[in-house]
Amino acid sequence: MNKRCVLYDRDCIDCMECEFCDLDPAKICDNCGKCLNIEGKEYNELKIDEIIIPDKPSESER
């Protein structure tokens, strides 16, 4: 089974687009968190659309 793209509904084509910073597209993401606007906050919420478990069909594939 091919690795799935985390940005688009397709198989991964190793374009590395998912590795770049959302705020500075010329920079590779270093997990600084600035895109999450977490400075000064005790916690932050993220919406999870789907949990992907390898070797198990996703909701969209059923």
The pLDDT value recorded for residue 46 is 79
52, HSE (Cβ side, Cα atoms, 13 Å): 8
**φ, ψ (nearest 5 deg) of residue 34:** -60, -30
**Rounded distance between C-alpha atoms, residue 6 and residue 12, angstroms:** 8
Tens digits of pLDDT across the chain (62 residues): 688 998 999 999 999 999 999 899 899 999 888 888 777 778 877 789 888 888 766 566 65
31 in helix, strand or coil?
A: coil
The pLDDT value recorded for residue 60 is 61
The pLDDT value recorded for residue 28 is 94
